[in-house]
Homo-oligomer: A and B are copies of this chain.
Amino acid sequence: MSLADLNARIAAVNDVLCASSVLVWDSRTMMPAGGAASRSHQIATLTGLARDLLIADDTRRALDGAERAVAGLPEDHPDRRSVAAVREAVAFHSRIPAALVARRAAVRGLANAAWVQARATNDFALFTPHLEATLALAREFADAAGWQDHPYDALLQLYEPGESITSLRRLFARLRDGLAPILQAARARTPRTDFLHRGFAEEGQRAVARSFAQRLGYDFARGRLDTTVHPFEVSFTREDVRITTRYRPDALAPALFGAMHETGHALYEQNIDPAYTRTALATDLMGLYAVGGTSFGVHESQSRLWENHVGRSRSFWRLHFAEVRNVFPDALGDVDASTFHAAVNAASPGLIRTEADELTYDFHIMLRVELEASLIAGDIAVADIPGAWAAAMREQLGLEVPDDRSGCLQDIHWSSGMIGSFCSYTIGNVMAAQLFAAARGQVAGLDDALARGDYAPLRDWLRAQVWQHGRRFGRDEILRRATGSGLSPEPYLGYLSAKFASG
């Protein structure tokens, strides 16, 4: 058995996981209501088959041979990294009993339905037993996977390999300290935003969303833009990377910035080295998910970089506002580029994470991560969540939570069993600022290019530093190679301060 045998096995795993992602995409964009029950069987079966293929004896035998074959290569050679990733994933999945996987899937189905019901009726008690079961299984999963300092660390590995609650708390402490005065200063400014909530016909929004995605570099020959309730990006190899956005008749910003956000994710996937297609360097074998990006946080850094550092910049709107006004002459006739730019950067604390501005978003994340870690450790109980939520919102954002629907029932993540994933949003914000600052330092004339609407130099730098590598390098390796430093919140705080606390 050779490296080629292992690669053939992993290619099949990637095929199955890509197929599963097609089924998920379809279920969120195209599927008729009747298809839901069959579809969840189909997705569960495919995920189970991918796991079975991965830990099968044939894969282990191929892995042994492949390890011998790559032993002489440099440690960071793609083949060696690829083989190591398979070894790690085989060991990981072998530690997780199949029965536990099945129980988690079963609880997820019920929890999701209960959450939908609980949110609709604003009744946290309906969701309580399901969340308790979800957390108990997550803890069981953490214990099976293994951990040293804190059981939450085991869950973090699926989203942010190498991350720990200890280092997250260090990061969060610095962020809280750094963000507080900026938020204080920003609250003094109340730019006009009324025009963002006039009538915007869907057809026009769709045209602008498409145009912006294309301008930023999204390749429609290897993708498509559709409509969903909750926007997302998904890839079935780099040759088919799809994005979605939503269109609200009374709001322009969600569609535009949603499209730019998902475009950022898509640029990452569309620009992975083609040689990595259907390999372990373009497959999340731990999470059993067909994704080329190396962690959820790195992925989020790409979406946030394009959404915020490019899409919410002064130069972007100086250049592109006229196009939007041409599409919506009635709604935006009395607005100029500068006013529009100020409006899409207005900061104001709110209760809903997905509607949060750049300055308060991380508070929503930190609240959730702290709660999750305490729940998994058993330090607090599910019944304590509403109170803890309200206290944190009051203390950190000065807001009262009127009901659980606007509080702890707002996110789908817990009902989906995704405990440990929230930190990636803040890591993405932090890392986006690090990478954008590094690009500006390293690419001569980058600001001028961006001011001209020439996004190719930024893309070229990101392709070289981040995108092409797929999962060959981990998050911190990418950061060190690109910026000379590990994860650091200082560029992010500097960026936010410049944007919100000055001028």
Contacts and interface: CB of A to CB of B under 8 A. Distances in A.
Contact of A16 (B45, B222, B237, B278): B45
A356 interface: no
A19 B278 CA distance: 18
Contacts of A242: 32
A402 to B, nearest CB: 36
A393 to B, nearest CB: 40
A15 B42 contact: yes
Given A34-B221, A35-B222, A224-B32, A16 B239 contact: no
A202 to B, nearest CB: 16
**Majority-rule SS of A interface residues:** helix
A278 B39 CA distance: 11
Interface residues of A, number: 40
Contact of A19 (B35, B36, B46, B237): B46
Interface in A13-54: 15-16, 18-20, 22-23, 26, 30-39, 41-42, 44-46, 48-49
A32 B223 contact: yes
B46 A15 contact: yes
Interface in A385-429: none
A147 interface: no
Nearest to A25: B26
B22 A38 contact: no
B222 A45 contact: no
A141 B15 CA distance: 26
Contacts of A39: 236, 240
Contact of A31 (B31, B33, B240): B240
Interface in A229-273: 236-237, 239-240, 242
Contacts of A221: 32-34
B222 A34 contact: yes
B220 A41 contact: no
A339 interface: no
B18 A239 contact: no
A365 interface: no
B19 A239 contact: no
Given A236-B39, A240-B39, A45 B224 contact: no
Given A15-B41, A34-B240, 6 more contacts: A19-B22, A22-B22, A34-B222, A35-B239, A38-B239, A49-B49
Interface of A: 11-12, 15-16, 18-20, 22-23, 26, 30-39, 41-42, 44-46, 48-49, 219-224, 236-237, 239-240, 242, 277-278
Shortest 3 CB-CB contacts between residues of A and residues of B? A35-B240, A34-B222, A15-B45
